[in-house]
Structure 1
Amino acid sequence: MDMDIQTVGILSPGDMGHAIGTVLKQAGLRVISCLQDRSTRTRELARKAGIVDVETDEALVREADIVLSVLVPAQAVATAGRIAKAVRATGSRPLFADCNAISPRTMQAINQLVTDAEADIVDIGIIGGPPRSKDAGTRLYASGPRAAEVAALNNYGLNIRVLGDQIGQASGLKMCYASLTKGLTALATEALTAGQALGIGEALTSELQQSQATLLSMIERQISGMPPKAYRWVGEMEEIAQTFGDLGLPPQMLQGAANVYHLVEQTELGSEIPEQRRLGTTRDEVTTILNTSLGHLKGDGKK
C-alpha cells in the first residue's frame, strides 16, 4: 500500500538532494530541510529548489512523513544518529530512508540506530545522476520491510524500484554498480595520467581510438564530469572496498580508486563545483593537471 505522503524532509539538499527535492516540489509535495551548519552553497541550492528550512531536527521529524538522507558516506551514520535522537525527543515516527552510497555493513549499523529509536527505515541505493524528471534516468532502488510503501514517491516524479524486503540489498546493489562505473573512471584517470607522465599519452590515446573507440568515448565523458564529485567518491570507494572485503573478496582495487579520487581532490580540480566549472572540463585537461601535480603531491605521504 502506498504511503500518504505530503511532506518530505531531505538531509541534505546538496547536488543530489536538492535535485530530488526540486522534482518532489514541482510535483506538489512540501519539501523541508534543517540547514543548521550547512554551507552557503547548500542553502542557496535549497532556496532555488523551494525547500523550506526548518530550524531543528525535531521540527523536521514532526513535520515530515518521510525523511530522505542524501549525503556523503562519511556523514551517513552521524545523520541517522541525529534523526534517531530527534525521534526519541519528539515521539514522531517519520519513515527514515537512507539514500547514501554505503556498504551493507554501514547500512545495518544505521538500521540499528533508527530502529532502536522505534522508527522504521528503508534502504535506498541511487543509480544515476541528479534527477530532473522521472525520465531523467535516475533510479532509486529500495529494500526493507516498508520498501513498497516508498513507491508512493513514483506519483511525484521519482523512479522508485522495489528490490526486496531486506535492509542492505539496495545498498549492496549500489556498491556493486558503482564499483564498475566509478571504479572504471578511476582506473582510466590513472592510466591516462600515467600515459602523459611517461610521454606516451598521444600514442595511448591513438591506440584506444583504434581498438577501444567505444570505451574511450565513454571514459572521456566520465573523466571530464568527475572532478567536482571526486571528494564525495573517496568515501564511496572506501565503502565499496569494505563491502567486498566483508564478502571475502580483495578490496584493494576499490581502495586504490579511493586514492585516485583523493589525489584529484588535493589538486586545483578539487575546488571546482558543478555550476561553476572552469578546470578539467575535458579528459586532456584533467590528466594534464593531475600529471603536473604529481611531483608536488609526492612528498605529502599520500597516494
Structure 2
Amino acid sequence: MTIQTVGILSPGDMGGAIASVLNQNGLRTVSALGDRSERTKQLAIAAKVENVGTLEKLVIESDIILSVLVPSAATQIAKQVAVAIQKVGKNILYVDANAISPERVKAIQPIIEEAGGEFVDASIIGPPPRQPNSTRIYASGEKAELFAKLRDYGLDIRVIGSEIGQASGLKMCYAALTKGLTAISTELLIAAHRLNLDAELWQEISTSQKELLEYLNRQIPTMLPKAHRWVGEMEEIADTFGAVGLTERTFEGAADVYRFVKETSLGKETPEGRDTSRTLADIIAILSQDNISSST
C-alpha cells in the first residue's frame, strides 16, 4: 500500500496538529470542511490541510482516513463515510482514533467494513504532536500495520494487538487516570474555596504532594477550553468500566464536572485564546463564582 494522501476528520486541535506533522514529512492531507466551524477551517489552513469539499471527494483523494472527533460524533461520521465509500466503490483504510469505548469501536467496525472499507482501532495519548516524542498513537486490528506505515512520516504509532477494541480500551484506562484525576482535583479545589480553606489546602498540598501540585498547575489551566470534549470521553470511560463489571458512577461524576466547566466563562475560551497569566488559585476562584452565578 502506497500512502500519498491522508484524509483528516477533523482538523481541529489534535487533527490539525497530526496533519501538520504529516505535511512536514512529505504527505498531502485533505479534509471535507463544508459544515465545519470557522475556527476549524482556520486551523486547517494553518496546518496546510486541503479542503476537498465533500466526503465522497475525500474518499476518492485519500489512501487513509483518520477520524479524530469528539466522541459523540464518531458513529455518525463513520456512517457518512461508509455511504461515500459505497458510492465511490473504493477500498480505503479507515482509522478510528476517537476517545471511545471498546464496545463502541467494535460497533463502528462493521459500518465501515460492510461498505467495502478496512478498519483500524486507534487511540491518541498525549497532547497535539507539536513537539517530537510527545504523543503516542496506539493501534490494533488486523490492518494496524498498514496504518503504522505513517511512522515513516513523523507519527509515533505503536501496534498493540490484532483485536479491534484494544487500542480504545487502553485510551479509556489511561484517560481515566489523567482526566479523571483532573476532574476530581478541580472539584475538590472548588470545595476548599467555598469552605474558605484555600490557603490551608494549598499549604498542605505544597508540603506533602509537591509533584501533584506541579501536575495540577499544568493540567487544570489547559483543561478549561477542552472540557466540552471531555464530557463525552468520561461517559465513554463510564461505559467501558460498566462493561467489565465496575461502577460507572465515578466517571459519570467526572463528566458532570466537565459539563459544569464547559458552561463557565473559562470553559468558553479557546485553547489559543485562553488567558495564560491566571494562576491556578485564580482559576478556581473564577470557577467557583461562575458556578454560583449559573445556579442562581
**Which bin holds the TM-score, normalised by the shorter protein?**
over 0.9
Structure 2 residue aligned with 1:124:
122
Structure 2 residue aligned with 1:265:
262
For 1:75-114, what aligned pairs fall within 5 Å after superposition?
75-114=73-112
Q: Secondary structure at the match of 2:267?
A: helix
Retained in 1: the 8 A contact 2:160–2:166? Answer: yes
Q: Secondary structure at the match of 1:245?
A: helix
For 1:92-171, what aligned pairs fall within 5 Å after superposition?
92-133=90-131, 135-171=132-168
Give the TM-score normalised by structure 1.
Answer: 0.95
- Give 1:15's aligned amino acid: D
For 1:217-236, what aligned pairs fall within 5 Å after superposition?
217-236=214-233
Q: Deviations over 1:143-189 (max 9, x none)?
A: 00000111110000000000100000000000000000000000000
CA distance in 2, matches of 1:188, 1:223: 9
CA distance in 1, matches of 2:3, 2:282: 45
**CA positional deviation for 1:197:** 0.5
Q: Which runs of 5+ in 1 are unaligned?
A: none
RMSD: 1.2
Q: Secondary structure at the match of 2:90?
A: coil
Structure 2 residue aligned with 1:209:
206
Structure 2 residue aligned with 1:282:
279
Q: Secondary structure at the match of 2:133?
A: coil
CA distance in 1, matches of 2:292, 2:224: 19
CA distance in 2, matches of 1:239, 1:280: 33
Q: Deviations over 1:181-228 (max 9, x none)?
A: 000000000011110010001100101111111111111211111101
Structure 2 residue aligned with 1:298:
295
**Of 195, 198, 220, which residue of structure 1 is paired with 2:192?**
195
- Give 1:81's aligned amino acid: K
Structure 2 residue aligned with 1:22:
20
Q: Secondary structure at the match of 2:295?
A: helix
CA distance in 2, matches of 1:191, 1:100: 29
Q: Deviations over 1:13-70 (max 9, x none)?
A: 0000000000000101010000010000100111111111002111100110000000
- The reply to whether residue 185 of structure 1 matches residue 147 of structure 2 is no
Retained in 1: the 8 A contact 2:90–2:116? Answer: no
CA distance in 2, matches of 1:259, 1:250: 16
Q: Secondary structure at the match of 1:217?
A: helix
**CA positional deviation for 1:275:** 1.0
Name which of structure 1's ranges 188-197 and 281-290 shifts more when overlaid on structure 2. 281-290
Structure 1 residue aligned with 2:170:
173
Q: Secondary structure at the match of 1:71?
A: coil
Q: Which runs of 5+ in 2 are unaligned?
A: none
CA distance in 1, matches of 2:178, 2:277: 19
Retained in 2: the 8 A contact 1:22–1:50? Answer: yes
- Give 1:106's aligned amino acid: R
For 1:248-259, what aligned pairs fall within 5 Å after superposition?
248-259=245-256
Give the TM-score normalised by structure 2.
Answer: 0.98
CA distance in 1, matches of 2:216, 2:248: 23
CA distance in 1, matches of 2:274, 2:152: 34
CA distance in 1, matches of 2:250, 2:290: 22
Aligned residue-pair number: 296
Identity %, equivalent residues: 52
Q: Secondary structure at the match of 1:17?
A: helix
- Give 1:205's aligned amino acid: W
CA distance in 2, matches of 1:238, 1:207: 32
- Give 2:272's aligned amino acid: E
